[in-house]
Amino acid sequence: MGRSRTSIHALIWRQIRVSTAVISLLLLIVIRAGESAFYSSGGAAGMSTFVALLKNPAISALYGRANSLGSAGAFVSWKMGMYMALAAALWAALMATRVTRGAEDDESWDLLAVGTRGRGRALLTAIAVMAEGAILLGAITFFGLLLDTSGWTSCLLFASGITGVALTGIAMGLLCAQVISPRRSASQVALSAVGLMFLVRMLADSSTSLGWLRWTSTFGWLENLESFQHHSAWWCLAFVAVPVPGAVLAWRLQQHRDIGCAQWNRSDRARAHTWLLQSTWRFSWRERRSTLIAWSVGLCAVGLIVGYLTNALVAFSRADPAYVRLLDRLGLGVMITAKGFVGEVCFMMTLALSFLVITLLVMLASDDLLGRLDLPLSCGVARTRWMTSAAAATALGTLAVSLVCGLSIWLGVEASGTSMNFLVPLEGMVNAVSPTPLVIGVTILVVTLSARFAYLVVAALLALTYLVALLGPVLHWPHWLLAGSPFFYLRTVPAVPANWGAIFVCSSIGLVAGAGALVRFNRADVGR
């Protein structure tokens, strides 16, 4: 029995070890970069000028609430904490659906279920392994903060919150895996649930009258911990009270269903529609339409909320000259106008749209690894046509999502009481989608080089290059390092003109990378 436990434990760890290492390294890099930004800004004395910034409801919605930034840990937990927690929760939800629903879809879970331990024990082992991964993220966060922060209690409390958020993501992924099939649908619902909780936290921080909403979101619980302020440690109970019953419910649901089945299976209940299966172009659209719809809904919700905060930001800026001087010192002076704030929001949307591109293109890797390309390629479909159809559908779909998101930002701005031409946010979102050719070219090249790890590799590259563009100028990093980030060349359109020269160069690099990917895809064996 002990040997079986070790084998199952090792098998599941092998499935999540690469992604766990990548997300751990990313969290550590973000923490160290945040600490460097704190000290380069003058430490606690320099942060005293940020007090006006903390009072702005728009800033609170984006980064969370804080009363003071007297230590490096407090600055990191405020400026990066929510997005660190979001990354941990998304990772946890994806890994939970991968090791459970994904294993059932490819029938590898059958081998665990017929063993001496049974499927119930196998699921408990999977839960234990993922919990170990969440604890590892917390440990990395704790030691990363402890290196430059004297208050180990505060570091431990914040690290516990990151672990708790990851555990909540695991519980959501487990529940979706039991109820929804196939894995792609289960993952989309789990990720949507995580995104919804993040939006709830943004709403709660955007207005004092909506503060009660923090009680309904795991990100709100993290904020209520007040790790580097008042130490409301009893909120840690929420991170246990929700994930544990969720895991128990997932275990009970598995005991009352057949392996490979789910409570809701779209493929079993949907009628056959062949009108999008008559060409590679139409099939590419059909394969990606549910993902495009889900991302459109999520980004539109974000756009509405952030757009609605525009009036509050502009009014606050006009009423507090010290705040205006602070933004000018940080190089964010354009944010004192509605058009400038919209430009900053569109710049932030660039990362989300880039991740959408990766999500749409790694379907090529999944089709290849699962043997789905055998039939169409054996029927005479050209490989070049198959890949270019996927790339074209991704590019047009991402552009459509960006335009819909731009309209939602405009609606939010208008609802806030600020008048703005609807072309203003659309122009900003077109600029935000300009790195798409580069991201497409790099992604399909990585897919042809390593299909199994394509998502992790490209996602890590995106996160690191965005971090370089975001913090590099503030920390005075070398220019050659900044020049390697495509986000560094983006401008806050429409407040300032777009950098068309850089857009052309980056797009050309993407086309060259895409051409190389096509050559390799034509010469490689299917499934390798």
What is the DSSP secondary-structure string of 231-256? --GGGGGHHHHTHHHHHHHHHHHHHT
Same structural domain for residues 216 and 294? no
Same structural domain for residues 357 and 253? no
Same structural domain for residues 365 and 496? yes
Global pTM value: 0.86
Q: Which amino acid is at 386?
A: W
Same structural domain for residues 56 and 90? yes
Least confident of 7-21, 128-142, 310-324, 348-362: 310-324
Amino acid 335: pLDDT: 66
Amino acid 350: pLDDT: 95
Amino acid 345: pLDDT: 87
- For residues 53 and 323, the answer to whether their CB atoms sit within 8 Å is yes
- For residues 426 and 407, the answer to whether their CB atoms sit within 8 Å is yes
More confident residue, 276 or 471: 471
270 is a domain residue: no
Stretch 310-330: mean pLDDT: 67
Amino acid 337: pLDDT: 77
Same structural domain for residues 167 and 287? no
- Residue 252's domain comprises 1-263
Q: How confident is the model at residue 319 (pLDDT cuts 50, 70, 90)?
A: low
194 is a domain residue: yes
- For residues 337 and 314, the answer to whether their CB atoms sit within 8 Å is yes
Amino acid 296: pLDDT: 93
Amino acid 2: pLDDT: 45
Same structural domain for residues 286 and 146? no
Look at residues 206, 237, 263 and tell me which one is the last residue of a structural domain. 263
Amino acid 42: pLDDT: 77
Kindly state the greatest CA–CA separation across the chain.
71
Residue 45 has pLDDT above 90, yes or no: no
Torsional sign, CA 188, 193, 194, 195:
positive
298 is a domain residue: yes
Amino acid 150: pLDDT: 62
Same structural domain for residues 83 and 159? yes
Same structural domain for residues 286 and 397? yes
> What average pLDDT does the structure give for the chain?
86
Residue 3 has pLDDT above 50, yes or no: no
Residue 320 has pLDDT above 70, yes or no: no
What's the domain count of the chain? 2
Q: How confident is the model at residue 5 (pLDDT cuts 50, 70, 90)?
A: very low
Look at residues 263, 294, 323 and tell me which one is the last residue of a structural domain. 263
380: left (phi over 0), alpha (psi -120 to 50) or beta: left
Least confident of 105-114, 446-455, 482-491: 105-114
* 181 SS3 class: strand
193 is a domain residue: yes
269 is a domain residue: no
Same structural domain for residues 259 and 332? no
The per-residue pLDDT for range 220-251, each reduced to its tens digit, is 999 999 999 888 999 999 998 889 999 999 98
| Closest C-alpha to 464, from 22, 76, 38, 26 | 26
Phi, psi of 525 (to 5 degrees): -75, 150
More confident residue, 118 or 433: 433
Amino acid 221: pLDDT: 95
437 is a domain residue: yes
- For residues 207 and 57, the answer to whether their CB atoms sit within 8 Å is yes
Look at residues 202, 235, 263 and tell me which one is the last residue of a structural domain. 263
Residue 1 has pLDDT above 70, yes or no: no
Residue 437 has pLDDT above 90, yes or no: yes
Torsional sign, CA 377, 382, 387, 390:
negative
The per-residue pLDDT for range 98-124, each reduced to its tens digit, is 999 988 887 787 777 666 567 788 899
| Closest C-alpha to 428, from 361, 524, 348, 525 | 348
Same structural domain for residues 246 and 374? no
CA distance 103 to 61: 38
Same structural domain for residues 285 and 193? no
Stretch 490-495: mean pLDDT: 87
214 secondary structure, DSSP code: G
Residue 271 has pLDDT above 60, yes or no: no
Q: How confident is the model at residue 268 (pLDDT cuts 50, 70, 90)?
A: very low
CB-neighbour burial class of residue 371 (10 A; exposed 0-12, middle 13-18, buried 19+):
exposed
Same structural domain for residues 77 and 225? yes
**Cis peptide leading into residue 425 (ω within 30°):** no
Amino acid 136: pLDDT: 96
- For residues 64 and 82, the answer to whether their CB atoms sit within 8 Å is yes
Q: How confident is the model at residue 275 (pLDDT cuts 50, 70, 90)?
A: low
Q: How confident is the model at residue 10 (pLDDT cuts 50, 70, 90)?
A: confident
449 is a domain residue: yes
